[in-house]
Amino acid sequence: MTALDLSSPVGVVGTGTMGQGIAQVALVAGHPVRLYDAVPGKAREAADAIGARLDRLVEKDRLTDTERDAARARLEPVEGVAGLADCSLVIEAVLERLDVKQELFRSLEEVVAEDCLLATNTSSLSVTAIGGALVNPGRFVGLHFFNPAPLLPLVEVVSGFATDVTSATRAYETARAWGKTPVACADTPGFIVNRIARPFYAEAFAVHESQGADPATIDAVLRESGGFRMGAFELTDLIGQDVNESVTHSVWQSFFQDVRFTPSLAQRRLVESGRLGRKSGHGWYDYAPDADRPEPHTAEPERAPAYVVAEGDLGPAGELLALLREAGIQVREEEEDQGTRLVLPSGGQLALADGQTSVEFRDVVYFDLALDYRRATRIALSASQDTSPQTLAEAIGLFQALGKKVSVIGDVPGMIVARTVARIVDLAHDAVAKGVATEEDIDTAMRLGVNYPLGPFEWSRRLGRNWAYSLLDDLHLRDPSGRYAPSLALYRHAYATDKREGSGS
Ligand SMILES: NC(=O)c1ccc[n+]([C@@H]2O[C@H](COP(=O)([O-])OP(=O)(O)OC[C@H]3O[C@@H](n4cnc5c(N)ncnc54)[C@H](O)[C@@H]3O)[C@@H](O)[C@H]2O)c1
């Protein structure tokens, strides 16, 4: 099965933000494109707006004058669905309502040819449910573009229960021929990206709600230690709190209020009070011209310890030992079956965040997971009231000696990056086990759809195969609500690893 022939006309229904972007993609790829919108005159305005964007592509030397003129000539606004009769593919990007979309596809099915592929750009409705309105739902598929469609490469190609393999393949190949990176996925709430990304926001909000740290500190740790492009607070301010909350809410509702997807109360309050983010001038942060941008918590300089004793294998933080030696801190390594930690001269311990709290131990400081300890510019530490001031000072001095800024947060099990990554890894395993997508497509989707520095499976391999399971298991013990309960898929993964490695379960 091949992509649609470039001479085949493509119809786009709903010429708002997404419709215009998708139309531009199909047009620049070389198709004749028909635009239809329910509001009279809107398709014509959209054609003009797309024309202006083509002009800008010419200014940037990304399109020649001739190509622009030819593309404009291929773009035709029409005044009713009948104008889409000769299309080989129609993609809708209308109002996000099941009844509206079903009604539209019923009327489209009456005018288009029997072999015309029909597609929805829905982000939160079920493709199976929309397709239920069709006489032939086999030709119906989800083509979920990301905003702005001309710039973002990812397209989730969603098969509903009734979608034919040939239709899904044709949609997939067509998206690829348009220069996009398609990923195949089943019809489940949030598809791939909006399902697996939920903990990125939820865990940041949860750490804040539990008084663990302020938004500026959490954002800085996610960026500078986790390697994420933006922190969860600044990113949701950019997306719009209402838009982000509505996706979270819809995924949570669609999963029958599964506790793993519970929305944030604090975000609800922001939305209710009109603090929608950048677009309203105030969200988690205040964007008034005279407002102070809050700074992340950064510890004052402390003296580095002269030596540490490394007990056991530090796992994902193993690289620290080489960094400490390079910084002139003496490292004595001791075999240890039980613990994986650094013992400081104070006698206190420094351990990688593992889902336990500092208060459970006599004198311990936890440090957060970093994407890459060499390149991280900030590390979060957590301590309890039982941690001695000397241990905390030595832990701060140790990371400062490696050139890192240090943020001290509250005694939050799993800290910030570690719990976020563990939950993303878990949801990714769960999604594969439920047939949502392949590991490879999930990694691609999370890197391209939300700019994660690594796909969840790449991250999981780097962290060790049962790292996420054991962290979540610890967290689940401390918060038995079910929010952190590791999935059966992650359990199987960790158990299989243990057996292979001969260490039992
Ligand atoms: N905005 C995003 O970031 C984004 C990303 C991915 C998917 N989506 C999905 O794309 C779709 C459109 O979103 P948008 O942000 O472009 O919306 P939008 O409000 O910008 O545009 C919707 C357009 O559809 C038209 N319309 C409404 N009902 C219609 C009908 N029955 N027939 C013809 N035209 C109709 C409206 O007049 C409007 O021009 C939704 O399903 C949304 O979930 C949006």
Q: Dump pLDDT digits (tens) for 261-319.
A: 999 999 999 999 999 999 999 999 999 999 999 999 999 999 999 999 999 888 899 99
Give the pLDDT confidence score for residue 504 in this predicted structure: 41
Is any ligand 1 atom within 6 A of the Cβ of residue 15? yes
* pLDDT confidence of residue 465: 84
What's the 168 CA to ligand 1 centre distance in angstroms? 22
110-134 mean pLDDT: 97
Summarize the confidence of residues 100-117 as an average pLDDT: 97
- Please say whether the beta carbons of 297 and 213 come within 8 A: yes
DSSP 128-146: HHHHTT-S-GGGEEEEEE-
Q: Does 120 contact ligand 1 (Cβ within 6 A)? A: no
Q: Is 121 in the pocket of ligand 1 (CB under 6 A)?
A: yes
CA dihedral 295, 301, 305, 311 (to 10 degrees): 0
Lowest mean pLDDT among 45-54, 221-230, 310-319, 434-443: 310-319
What residue spans of 353-452 are helical by DSSP H?
389-401, 417-433, 439-449
- 360 band by pLDDT with thresholds 50, 70 and 90: confident
Answer whether 16 contacts ligand 1 (Cβ < 6 A): yes
Q: Is the pLDDT of residue 503 over 80?
A: no
Q: What is the mean pLDDT of the chain?
A: 95
Helix, strand, coil percentages for the chain (3-state, nearest 5)? 45, 15, 40
Over range 333-341, report the average pLDDT.
74
Distance CA 130, CA 123 (A): 12
In the prediction, which pLDDT does 337 show?
61
CA of 16 to the centre of ligand 1 (A): 6
How far is 206 from 212, CA to CA, in rounded Å? 9
Active site residue 144: yes
Output DSSP code: residue 282. Answer: B
Q: Say which residue, 357 or 106, is predicted with more confidence.
A: 106
CB hemisphere CA count around 395 (13 angstroms): 29
Answer whether 122 contacts ligand 1 (Cβ < 6 A).
yes
pLDDT tens, position by position, 204-226: 999 999 999 999 999 999 999 99
The residue whose CA is least distant from atom 2 of ligand 1 is 147
pLDDT at 498 (0 to 100) = 57
* Per-residue model confidence (pLDDT) at position 97: 95
Rounded to whole angstroms, the Cα distance separating 276 from 274 reads 5
Q: Is the CB of 177 under 6 A from ligand 1?
A: no
pLDDT, position 461: 94
Is the Cβ–Cβ distance between 91 and 22 less than 8 Å?
A: yes
Least Cα distance to 485 among 443, 431, 435, 430 occurs for 430
Q: What pLDDT is stored for residue 407 in this prediction?
A: 98
Contact 323, 317 (CB under 8 A): no
In tens, the pLDDT along 399-422 reads: 999 999 999 999 999 999 999 999
- Reply yes or no on whether 156 is catalytic: yes
DSSP classification of residue 298: -
Percentage above 70 pLDDT, the chain: 97
Answer for the pair 228, 452: CB distance below 8 angstroms, yes or no.
yes
User: Judging by beta carbons within 10 Å of its beta carbon (0-12, 13-18, 19+), is residue 358 exposed, middle or buried?
Assistant: buried
pLDDT at 495: 84
Residues 469-489: what's their mean pLDDT? Answer: 96
pLDDT of 500 reads: 59
| 335 compared with 235, residue with greater pLDDT | 235
What is the pLDDT at residue 1? 60
pLDDT higher than threshold 90 for residue 394? yes
Distance 181 CA to ligand 1 centre (A): 22
Q: Please state the atom number of ligand 1 nearest to the C-alpha of residue 100.
A: 31
Q: Using the atom order of ligand 1, give the atom closest to the CA of residue 243.
A: 3
Tokens of 296: 């992340």
Average pLDDT over residues 329-356: 88
Got the DSSP string for 219-249? HHHHHHTT--SS-HHHHHHHH-HHHHHHHHH
CB atoms within 10 A of CB 347: 11
- Residue 384: predicted pLDDT: 86
For each of the domains in the chain, give its residue range(s) and CATH number, in order of start: 10-187 (3.40.50.720), 195-292+416-505 (1.10.1040.50), 307-409 (3.40.50.720)
Dihedrals phi, psi of 310, to nearest 5 degrees: -95, 115
Helices 42-59, 65-74: axis angle to 10 degrees equals: 170
Q: 208 an active-site residue?
A: no
pLDDT in tens, 155-186: 999 999 999 999 999 999 999 999 999 999 99
Q: Ligand 1: distance of its center to the CA of 95 in Å?
A: 5
Determine the average pLDDT of the residues in 93-99.
96
Whether the predicted pLDDT of 499 surpasses 80: no
